[in-house]
Amino acid sequence: MPGKLEKPPAPTSPYSWWLPRHHKSAGFARRLLRTFLAGQPDGERFLDTGELLLGELVTNAVLHAKTPPGRLIFIRFELDPDSLRIEVHDADANQPSVPHPATEQDESGRGLWLVSQLASGWGCGPRAGGIGKMVWALIDGGSQ
């Protein structure tokens, strides 16, 4: 499956998908979110911030999760009238570092800081019933 992102993988539920740990997975996850939100009443109000936060969280899982070869990333979206919850699961139990603003010289390191600034809430914890962790971000519909 790694590198094969031409069509969506079979969803495990209407709002969740498994993706390979691959550099193209962040872009693919954003396309899945666009498709999901397009089918929801007033879903487009979450699109810009949702795409940015989802892209950062998936990129972190791809670049920083220390997992055996072949482990996948699981993404999940949950929409209610007032908020969008985004979850990214990976098989590495190590939690992300504390977000901090990057300096002008830093080439990377802004992802979690952006998440902390743009999300109405975010966090990380162990995956229920599995190995690894789940990082989540909540987007408030009134803050768009």
Length in residues, the chain = 144
Contact between 121 and 137 (Cβ < 8 Å): yes
- Confidence check: pLDDT of 2 > 50: no
pLDDT tens per residue, range 43-90 = 999 999 999 999 999 999 998 889 888 899 999 999 988 899 999 999
CB of 113 closer than 8 Å to CB of 100: yes
Residue 131's pLDDT is what?
87
What residue ranges define each of the domains in the chain, with the CATH number in brackets?
17-93+119-143 (3.30.565.10)
